[in-house]
Amino acid sequence: MIILTCALVTAAVLIYVFYLPGTLQLGPEKTKAAYLRERKEVVYENLRDLNFEFKAGKFPEADYQSMKNSLEDEAAALLSEISRMEAGERTSRLPLSSKKGSRI
pLDDT at 24 over 90: no
Flag the least confident range among 2-11, 27-36, 63-72, 92-101: 92-101
- Mean pLDDT value of segment 80-97: 78
The DSSP symbol for 19 reads -
Q: What is the mean pLDDT of the chain?
A: 87
pLDDT recorded at residue 100: 53
